[in-house]
Amino acid sequence: MFEFLGYEFMRNAFMAGALTSIICGTIGVYVVLKRIVFISGGIAHFSFGGIGFGYLINFNPMVTTLIFSLGAAVSIGLSKKKVNMQEDTTIGILWAIGMALGIVFVGLSKGYAIDLFSYLFGSILAVSRQDLYMMVTLCALIMITVTIFYKELLLVTFDEEYGNVLGAPTNGIYIMLLCLVALSIVVMIKVVGVILVIALLTIPASTSRLFSNNLKKMILFSILVGLVFTSGGLLISYYANLASGATIVIFSGVMFFITMMVKSVLDKRKRNRALNAMIQKQ
Amino acid sequence: MEENGDVAISIKDLWVSYGDHVVLKKIDLNVHEKDFIGIIGPNGGGKSTLLKAILGLIKPSRGSISIFGRPIREAKRYIGYVPQRKEIPRNFPITVFEVVRLGRYPRKGIGKRFDEDDNKASLQALERVNMLEYRDTEISNLSGGQQQRVFIARALVNDPKLLLLDEPNIGIDLTVQNDFYEMLKRFNERMTIIMISHDVTAISSYVKTVACLNKELHYHGTKAINKEDFEKVYNCPVELIAHGQPHWVLEEH
């Protein structure tokens, strides 16, 4: 049954899935609650330019992607206050330009590249040991930052305006949050790719929201849910011989809808029972 | 004018404008300690802007504001503020207790954790607004009036000497409004209060003095507003607003 663990690439894939779950679980909760799903999409797509640039200058694309995604995060964060433009317009422009740059850079680079497809839709089975080291580092960085600035992130996510009243550096905290999103995206691109990143940021967090009434619980649940989704999806893709990233996403989506329906049925039952109890009392 | 105690807020020649648009024009105002001022005026008359200027959130184009004799920056920790009610993010997993405790942020600063003192202060603030029993409830599950009490607790959590409220009665059930104003009246024994409100009747029975604001401030340190001021501020016949009363006096009569 567990013969797939005999392959190093499968062991690496599960490790990568686990790291991704920890990160998505944590950052995804903020993305969902702060409603920056679209912004995260913008950062992810802009970072595609970084992948192309890495190929062009023949440098580790994970590093150039990191630079591009952080650049996008900071400029979106700054444009909120400084530039007199709708935030979603800025994001739309970055989104498109990033993709275009990626394609042009790759076209300009010499020789045959490349598994562009794997960056768009992920290649969890191709995660190398070196990739894992980088993922662990980024993961640690993200978790430490979220722990230290828990109070600040809560303040900005829940009520940014009142944060200003309290004299908190809300703009800086917001940009920090976007940078955390950027870091997570870099980690996730290897696993599910630019296009499917949004799924992993939103689905585990929204599933976990159904069962948690405070932020810490929501993050914890969301990590657990992510673990189940990524490993489940990975197993299915292994046995059914399907594209792994896409399978993870579809599996997560299906599980989310099932959970939501079960939950709403349970809630209805609970309400009815309470109502009946009240009627019987009278 | 009756002088009761020291000056809480002193505003001198305050002008605020957004671009070419003047919002506040030559405001002079002295608020004394333990005052309870109700500010009325039409929408867009600059009421919220005035509170934000007092809080230091808006830079005046001209003029100065001092609070308890100090510049705003140094006096900030003596001010509690309840902003205009807005839809709180639905589905946000945060308990009443956590919302109030976030109000302690200024005492902590970046990267420091809340401690026992913060917890104690938060519970006390909740007790003062009679919401202690809801401390572990998710805030989105409360009614509008209950939420408003929580936000007042958040403003009280640093033991302010000055409380600023921006239309606190919006979204509060009529049946509990009296309790609400009684509560403010109790707070007023310990602190200065400035409240923006549309609810002229409520203002008339609970505040000590009334000011009218429409770009310019009309304030005589009394509860009576003369007809000229009122008409100037609202630009319409007074009778329309005054429930047909021939003259507009908020003093009991």
Q: Report the range of poorest mean pLDDT among A20-29, A247-256, B103-112, B195-204.
A: B195-204
- Eight-class DSSP state of B72: H
Rounded Cα distance between A164 and A270, Å, is 41
- Residues near B121 by beta carbon (within 8 Å), at least 6 away in sequence: B104, B157, B158, B159
Residue B161 backbone phi and psi in degrees, to 5: -100, -10
Q: What are the C-alpha distances in Å from A204 to residues A29, A30, A90, A188, B228?
A: 8, 12, 27, 14, 62
Sign of the C-alpha dihedral computed for residues B71, B74, B79 and B82 taken in this order: positive
Q: Tell me what pLDDT residue A7 has.
A: 84
Q: Is pLDDT of A190 > 70?
A: yes
Tokens 């923006």 sit at which residue? B196
- CB of A84 less than 8 A from some CB of B: no
Tokens 């949004």 sit at which residue? A198
Chosen for mutation from A165, A173, A217 (greatest number of chain B CBs closer than 10 Å) is A165
CATH of the domain at B212: 3.40.50.300
Q: Tell me what pLDDT residue A80 has.
A: 78
**In this prediction, does ipTM exceed 0.90?**
no
- Eight-class DSSP state of B111: T
Tell me the average pLDDT across A161-185.
Answer: 94
- Nearest CB to A167 within list B76, B91, B94: B76
Tens digits of per-residue pLDDT, B145-196?
A: 889 899 999 999 999 999 999 988 877 777 778 888 889 999 999 999 999 9
Rounded Cα distance between B116 and B146, Å, is 25
- Nearest CB to B105 within list A166, A214, A218: A166
Chosen for mutation from A156, A166, A220 (greatest number of chain B CBs closer than 10 Å) is A166
Strand partners of residue B214: B216
Residue A116 backbone phi and psi in degrees, to 5: -55, -40
Show the domains of chain A with their CATH numbers.
Answer: 3-281 (1.10.3470.10)
**Contacts with B, A 128-167, CB within 8 Å:** 148-149, 151-152, 154-155, 157-159, 161-167
Where does residue A240 rank: exposed (0-12), middle (13-18), buried (19+ CB within 10 A)?
exposed
Neighbouring CB atoms inside 10 A of A241's CB total 8
Question: How near does any CA of chain A get to the CA of B98, in Å?
Answer: 9
Neighbouring CB atoms inside 10 A of A80's CB total 16
Task: Using pLDDT thresholds of 50, 70 and 90, give the confidence band for residue B239.
Answer: very low
Task: Using pLDDT thresholds of 50, 70 and 90, give the confidence band for residue B222.
Answer: confident
- Nearest CB to B93 within list A35, A161, A213: A213
Q: Judge: A212–B93 Cβ closer than 8 Å, yes or no.
A: yes
Q: Judge: B105–A155 Cβ closer than 8 Å, yes or no.
A: yes
* This prediction's pTM: 0.87
Question: How near does any CA of chain B get to the CA of A224, in Å?
Answer: 18
Q: Is residue B149, in this structure, part of any structural domain at all?
A: no
Q: What percent of chain A has pLDDT over 70?
A: 97
- Nearest CB to B83 within list A158, A162, A217: A162
Tens digits of per-residue pLDDT, A20-78?
A: 999 999 999 999 999 999 999 999 999 999 999 998 998 888 889 999 999 999 999 88
SS3 B81: strand
At A220, list the tokens. Answer: 């914890």
Q: Is residue B101, in this structure, part of any structural domain at all?
A: no
Residue B18 backbone phi and psi in degrees, to 5: -105, 110
SS3 B159: coil
Closest chain A CA to residue B87: A159
Q: Is pLDDT of B99 > 50?
A: yes
Question: How near does any CA of chain A get to the CA of B95, in Å?
Answer: 7
Closest chain A CA to residue B78: A166
Q: Judge: B98–A214 Cβ closer than 8 Å, yes or no.
A: yes
Rounded Cα distance between B46 and B230, Å, is 16
Q: Is residue B103, in this structure, part of any structural domain at all?
A: no
Where does residue B72 rank: exposed (0-12), middle (13-18), buried (19+ CB within 10 A)?
middle
**DSSP letter string, A48-82:** HHHHHHHHHTTS-HHHHHHHHHHHHHHHHHHHHHH
3-state helix, strand, coil in chain B (%, to 5): 35, 25, 40
- Nearest CB to A218 within list B88, B93, B106: B93
Q: Is residue B152, in this structure, part of any structural domain at all?
A: no
ω into residue A114 within 30 of 0, thus cis? Answer: yes
Are B68 and B161 a contacting pair, CB within 8 Å?
yes
Question: How near does any CA of chain B get to the CA of A186, in Å?
Answer: 26
Task: Using pLDDT thresholds of 50, 70 and 90, give the confidence band for residue A1.
Answer: low
Chosen for mutation from B91, B110, B136, B164 (greatest number of chain A CBs closer than 10 Å) is B110
Q: Tell me what pLDDT residue B247 has.
A: 42
Q: Tell me what pLDDT residue B237 has.
A: 43
Question: How near does any CA of chain B get to the CA of A15, in Å?
Answer: 30
Interface of chain B toward chain A, CB-CB under 8 angstroms? 55, 57, 76, 81, 83, 88-89, 91-95, 98-99, 102-103, 105-106, 108, 110-114, 138, 154
Q: Is residue B121, in this structure, part of any structural domain at all?
A: no
Question: How near does any CA of chain B get to the CA of A241, in Å?
Answer: 39
Are B42 and B71 a contacting pair, CB within 8 Å?
no
Rounded Cα distance between A201 and A197, Å, is 6
Q: Is pLDDT of A90 > 80?
A: yes
Sequence letter at residue A98? G
Nearest to A257 by CA among A192, A203, A221: A203
Q: Is residue B91, in this structure, part of any structural domain at all?
A: no
Tell me the average pLDDT across B36-53.
Answer: 89
Tally A–B CB contacts below 8 A: 63
Angle between helix A170-209 and helix A150-165 axes, rounded to 10 deg = 120
Rounded Cα distance between A150 and B116, Å, is 17
Q: Is residue B253, in this structure, part of any structural domain at all?
A: no
Do β-strands B162-166 and B79-82 pair in parallel, antiparallel, or remain unpaired?
Answer: parallel
Q: Judge: A152–B93 Cβ closer than 8 Å, yes or no.
A: no
Q: Tell me what pLDDT residue B2 has.
A: 43
Domain that includes residue B176, residue range? 7-86+161-241
In chain B, residues with a C-beta closer than 8 Å to the C-beta of A157 are 92
Q: Is pLDDT of B11 > 80?
A: yes
SS3 B145: helix
Tell me the average pLDDT across B111-133.
Answer: 94
SS3 A232: helix
Q: Is residue B47, in this structure, part of any structural domain at all?
A: yes
Number of domains in chain B: 1
